[in-house]
Amino acid sequence: MAALAYNLGKREINHYFSVRSAKALALLAVLLLAACHLASRRYRGNDSCEYLLSSGRFLGEKVWQPHSCMMHKYKISEAKNCLVDKHIAFIGDSRIRQLFYSFVKIINPQFKEEGNKHENIPFEDKIASVKVDFLWHPEVNGSMKQCIKVWTEDSVAKPHVIVAGAATWSIKIHNGSNEALSQYKMNITSIAPLLEKLAKTSDVYWVLQDPVYEDLLSENRKMITNEKIDAYNEAAVSILNSSTRNSKSNIKVFSVSKLIAQETIMESLDGLHLPESSRETSAMILMNVYCNKILKPVDGSCCQPQPPLTLIQKLAACFFTLSIIGYLIFYIIHRNAHRKNKPCTDLESGEEKKNIVNPPVSPLEILLQSFCKLGLIMAYFYMCDRANLFMKENKFYTHSTFFIPIIYILVLGVFYNENTKETKVLNREQTDEWKGWMQLVILIYHISGASTFLPVYMHIRVLVAAYLFQTGYGHFSYFWIKGDFGIHRVCQVLFRLNFLVVVLCIVMDRPYQFYYFVPLVTVWFMVIYVTLALWPQIIQKKANGNCLWHFGLLLKLAFLLLCICFLAYSQGAFEKIFSLWPLSKCFELKGNVYEWWFRWRLDRYVVFHGMLFAFVYLALQKRQILSEGKGEPLFSSRISNFLLFISVVSFLTYSIWASSCKNKAECNELHPSVSVVQILAFILIRNIPGYARSVYSSFFAWFGKISLELFICQYHIWLAADTRGILVLIPGNPMLNIIVSTFIFVCVAHEISQITNDLAQIIIPKDNSSLLKRLACIAAFFCGLLILSSIQDKSRH
């Protein structure tokens, strides 16, 4: 009864809400969100620096998240590179001195806070040619004015960055009197024009006063109240913002430290000075404001202008625009022709004439329609991760953000289960299910930032290895059973694997190796193909006639393993092979192939393990050693129970080892050899019991069919800043944002999967002569792409 109700309910849902209607809803959501963000940008301004300097929130105890953009954590080398030949000046009281120390420690962590606190403090890194000075001027008075006035003279070298601020000393010395506030206003009014003049050539920041924790203040500081601080801040903002009559002030008000202090001032030792972590955050914000536009870090979207379109991107935009126009023209012509062919009523007989059969859809129409849809989807990709339209945020890992979604999808996966069409080991439904749940776990891993938690990282490494295991198993099985080594099969696989990535490399201006998993599976597919296609070609049909062929195949696999071991332990030879042109254009990242060598080496044996498993399994299946009937255990009861016990123990042993990892480098070194243990354990646990082989999760299997698209699309339309951050479509509501962005992301991935399948049928025809012509056109396209890429690289340098 429950099963009947479930099936009826599912049919009812499918009747009213199909994949097509979901995509229409996703399109509507994108248009509405784009319009809202565009209107918000026009109303509130498009300067993310203002957001960085004025708003944000804490994601955790010490992780600051600016509103709408991502903040980069600068390393020593990056800071020095940005500030080379630069002079930065901090002017103010003890709070500004704290900010000075935290800023300098980004450049030189060994710099000590020592010496007379009430005097100027210089810092210079002669190697990096960086100079940072603190000038002691605790009050906004004539002394501070004179210091600033000197810099306005043409003959004097001006600092590149000036950070100023003061008020608490004025409150303290004058006992919080109203006369002191009036004098403060007069003094800052006289200084404002000088700062405005400096701001034309230098970056000038006025730091507002942070709140105090009144309960901790000493008796001689009790007059410094938050009410007084607010009054001084209001005066400073009002005067500085009105320092120019007809235009916006160039002086940047640094008010974000107030928000930081409101959350952390309780940790202060004296109620006045901020704890070290808060000062470090403010210093890092200053570094982002100045350096992001210079170094352009991927995960530092604050204060970064939109990157200019490259020549290849412009050509791609023209191509997609022409495709959209072409399809619209084709559609209008086709619609008019369809109207003319509509059945009409015979006036004499009163009967309707027979319908004229619609002609089949032409390949040209499918081609134009596919590129039209792809063009619109690529526009969304660009808006999400290149244009400054949608917002981005940094990731922040907590155990709940990873494990709660995992539990949720597992419940859904178990709920949506169906009977398999066949009960063989690793049947199609089961492999789709396997890919599906693994992909969902990997997606949650990426968006939650769980890579910082080593036990989770090690388990995710096994899931990536399992994908490659399936690559070895699936392609070996196909070639071994069917013996189809034709060029059509190879081109079909290569097209389906690489089409989306090639388009993204063009549209998003990223190297091929950036999407590392696709190069990985592509190279391993070619390795499998070459291993089996080279003489002597050994397939199952030939091996069944003579058992010696099995031995010959094992020799081939042994030689492949030998080659893998050689390349794994000979980095020089590996780099020489993949540094050859044009391979270097595909596998280089940041000017070298180290990243590619690291990725390949991390899972170097697992494809071989997949091939070997396929060979052993198919050999046992051919000799009818396995029982693959519905509901039957794979082996006899005794052997099945024994293998199940061994598998469970092995599975748990690996998990215990992975969870106890302390050093990522050491665990990565062992991973290639031991990851197969958990993979094989899972396969046996999933396939030995007959009832487990007879059912599968249709929920996971649905995602498994689009797993490749999900993996690639997440880079730009679910995550942000090339996976470093999170895309924010709906600010202020993280849960709703994840729901909406995930819904659009999944719809887009599904549509791209269909587009890829449609184009594969047209671009890769079965007729060899036609296929060779298409391949010649594809080769010409890539040659043109290489030439344009070389021109771009020269213009950049």
Catalytic residues: 94, 270, 273
Strands (E), 341-422: 391-394, 417-419
- Is 744 in contact with 363 (CB distance < 8 Å)? no
In three-state secondary structure terms, 206 is strand
- Is 700 in contact with 436 (CB distance < 8 Å)? yes
In three-state secondary structure terms, 47 is coil
In three-state secondary structure terms, 207 is strand
- Is 728 in contact with 383 (CB distance < 8 Å)? no
Residue 55 backbone dihedrals phi, psi, to 5 degrees? -150, 160
In three-state secondary structure terms, 693 is helix
Distance CA 306, CA 290 (A): 16
Distance CA 749, CA 38 (A): 25
Taking every pair of Cα atoms in the chain, the longest distance, rounded to a whole number of angstroms, is: 111
Look at residues 635, 700, 731 and name the one whose alpha carbon lies nearest to residue 417.
Answer: 700
Q: How would you write 238-266 as a 3-class SS string?
A: HHHHCCCCCCCCCCEEECHHHHHHHHHHH
Alpha-carbon 59 to chain mean position:
19
- Is 614 in contact with 621 (CB distance < 8 Å)? no
> Angle, nearest 10°, between helix axes 707-717 and 487-507?
10
Sign of CA dihedral 505, 506, 511, 513: positive
In which element (H, E) is residue 105 found?
helix 94-107
